Amino acid sequence: MAAPDESARLNRRRIPRDESTGAGAGTVAPAVGGSVPSGPARLDAWDALLARAGIEERDARPISGGSLTPAQAARLVEALLGKPVTLAQFPSRLAVGHLLRKALEEGELSRTELLRQVERFSSVAVLRPDGCLAWVRSGKTQQRAAPVEWRDGGFRAHGFELGRFYDGRTGVYRLLDDALREVDGRPLADVHDDADYVGRTLDGAEVAFVKLALSVGHFLTYPLDSIAALKNLPAGVAALIESSPEYFERFRYMTRGEQIQAVSELATNLVLTTGTATATTRTVTGALAGAEAMVPRVALSAQGALTIERVVVPVGRAASVLGGGSGAVIILQRGGTVAAGEGPAKEPGQWAPVNESMSPRARRYQEQITGHSADEAYWVGGTSTKAGGVKFDGFKDGVLLEVKGPGYAKFFDGLLPKEWFRHSGAQGLVEQARRQGEMVRGLDILIEWHVAEAEAASAFRRLLDGAGIEGIKVLHTPAL
């Protein structure tokens, strides 16, 4: 949560500043986010985006004007991972990573399709590790949001998340999904000219992971020297380190400061390569691509270098999945495949104690639904919100469970929340549903909300539908 003065500055409305980059005569940049002129005449929009992301002439880049094959995409990823990313490069690097994953997952992209995809990033902004919002096509800073913190399964600042894209065309920022479509149309903040932010032009050369180190420092209050200790890290980073025994052997003997730097670099590269630093454990299923799935896999070398390649993964192999939809990337876990009928090698989360007070009837109802003691909750992505976890009331038969006991019906008039409840409890329910959905976005994991009262169940369905939340099944399950 931003400090009060930051919130006021973030949400005050001003006319968005011109994003012109000093192009020659005849090129006009739009007012917000702008499609950026291509610079030298030989560069089209895709080549220009690669250049802003840090790809140089000497790097192995596709022939100008040609298509992008999966093999070329893998080489570009390797080249980018070998370069430290600056704050100025971060927005373009994130967009390039998105398009490279698309090529790795879907196959060759024609030049026409590449240019069409780049054009879709016009007026699209991202959150940088330093807590500022910046435009993808130009890399220019627009405004400061808030310090970046790890919470609710992501690196976040004032409602924005590292690795996600935001449309700013209409003067407000709206969250986009993996296909660059609006998620729910909900405005997050106004686009404004943050002219009072000193250092706008001075911070672009800083290395991005240095800024992220401030966010991950609280994970490492002491050096981590065991696999079990990795559970406190973002799930994607932990899975990556665990997947490489050779690297972990080096990591466990690093000082705390060295580990903070290493985790920051890994988290930054994961966000740039996969769009997220969190992951969910699942088993590769036939739904991916028949008996064998061709998917992008990210791996970690003994020296700490990330690699990504398109590999065939047999059905039944346990993997950690980062991201969702067509851009999902996996980290293969150590060990063999899962025998048919056994289900996933690991559950998506784990039970952990929870300190919550509840009435006896609420406790009875929760234990009725989950079949588990109400003294524990089921966490995905970490065993606390501080560790990036998202809480559920239970996990049973492959379904994540949320329980809403007796007493909710009185907060609604018919299907609508009462006025005093609308901006507090009702909004809290929507945010809870959104967090839970985001944590398992794109994965084959079901979420069910069990509601004790029929009237409340109907109102909950209306509430979540109205907020554009999908993937959560609301059920009326009477208390026994």
pLDDT tens track for 174-195: 999 888 999 888 889 999 876 5
Confirm whether 467 is domain-assigned. yes
- What is the reported pLDDT for 239? 84
Q: Do residue 202 and residue 226 come from a single domain? A: no
Q: Do residue 118 and residue 215 come from a single domain? A: no
- What is the reported pLDDT for 167? 95
- What is the reported pLDDT for 318? 62
- What is the reported pLDDT for 323? 63
> Residue 152: is its pLDDT beyond 80?
no
- What is the reported pLDDT for 23? 33
Q: What pLDDT band is residue 336 in, cutting at 50, 70 and 90?
A: very low
Confirm whether 346 is domain-assigned. no
- What is the reported pLDDT for 268? 85
Q: Do residue 99 and residue 135 come from a single domain? A: yes
Range of the domain at 364: 356-476
Return the top range by mean pLDDT from 134-143, 296-305, 420-429: 134-143
> Residue 139: is its pLDDT beyond 50?
yes
Q: Do residue 202 and residue 214 come from a single domain? A: no
- What is the reported pLDDT for 112? 94
State the total domains in the chain.
Answer: 3
Q: Do residue 94 and residue 195 come from a single domain? A: yes
| % of the chain surpassing 90 pLDDT | 20
pLDDT tens track for 394-417: 998 788 999 999 989 889 988 898
Q: Do residue 67 and residue 177 come from a single domain? A: yes
Mean pLDDT of the region 213-233: 72
**Mean pLDDT over all residues of the chain?**
77
Q: Do residue 97 and residue 10 come from a single domain? A: yes
- What is the reported pLDDT for 250? 86
Q: Do residue 16 and residue 109 come from a single domain? A: yes
pLDDT tens track for 438-459: 888 766 688 999 999 999 999 9
> Residue 291: is its pLDDT beyond 60?
no
Confirm whether 345 is domain-assigned. no
Q: Please tell me which residue, 19 or 353, carries the higher pLDDT value.
A: 353
Residue where a domain stops, chosen among 206, 227, 258: 206
Q: Do residue 133 and residue 244 come from a single domain? A: no
Q: Do residue 129 and residue 249 come from a single domain? A: no
- What is the reported pLDDT for 121? 96
User: Which of the residue ranges 149-163, 178-192, 320-334, 366-380 would you say has the lowest mean pLDDT?
Assistant: 320-334
Confirm whether 343 is domain-assigned. no
Q: Do residue 103 and residue 50 come from a single domain? A: yes
Q: Please tell me which residue, 136 or 209, carries the higher pLDDT value.
A: 136
pLDDT tens track for 20-72: 333 333 333 333 444 444 444 467 899 999 999 988 888 777 777 889 998 88
> Residue 420: is its pLDDT beyond 90?
no
User: Which of the residue ranges 58-72, 111-125, 129-143, 280-294 would you say has the lowest mean pLDDT?
Assistant: 280-294
Confirm whether 348 is domain-assigned. no
pLDDT tens track for 354-382: 877 888 888 889 988 988 888 888 988 87
pTM for the full model? 0.59
- What is the reported pLDDT for 199? 44
Q: Do residue 100 and residue 182 come from a single domain? A: yes
Q: What is the 3-state secondary structure (H, E, C) of the chain?
A: CCCHHHHHHHHCCCCCCCCCCCCCCCCCCCCCCCCCCCCCCCCCHHHHHHHHHCCCCCCCCCCCCCCECHHHHHHHHHHHHCCCCECCCHHHHHHHHHHHHHHHHHCCECHHHHHHHHHCCCCEEEECCCCEEEECCCCCEEEECCCCEEECCEEEECCEECCCEEECCCCEEEEECCCCCEEEEEEEEECCCCCCCCCCCCCCCCEHHHHHHHHHHHHCCCCCCCCHHHHHCCHHHHHHHHCCHHHHHHHCCCCHHHHHHHHHHHHHHHHHHHCCCCCEEEECCHHHHCEEEEEEEEEECCCCCEEEEEEEEECCEEEEEECCHHHCEEEEEEEEECCCCCCCCCCCCEEEECCCCCCHHHHHHHHHHHCCCCCEEEEECCCCCCCCCEEECEEECCEEEEEECCCCHHHEECCEECHHHHHHHHHHHHHHHHHHHHHCCCCCCEEEEEECCHHHHHHHHHHHHHCCCCCEEEEECCCC
Residue where a domain stops, chosen among 275, 308, 337: 337
Q: Please tell me which residue, 73 or 231, carries the higher pLDDT value.
A: 73
Confirm whether 238 is domain-assigned. yes
> Residue 153: is its pLDDT beyond 80?
no
Residue where a domain stops, chosen among 277, 306, 337: 337
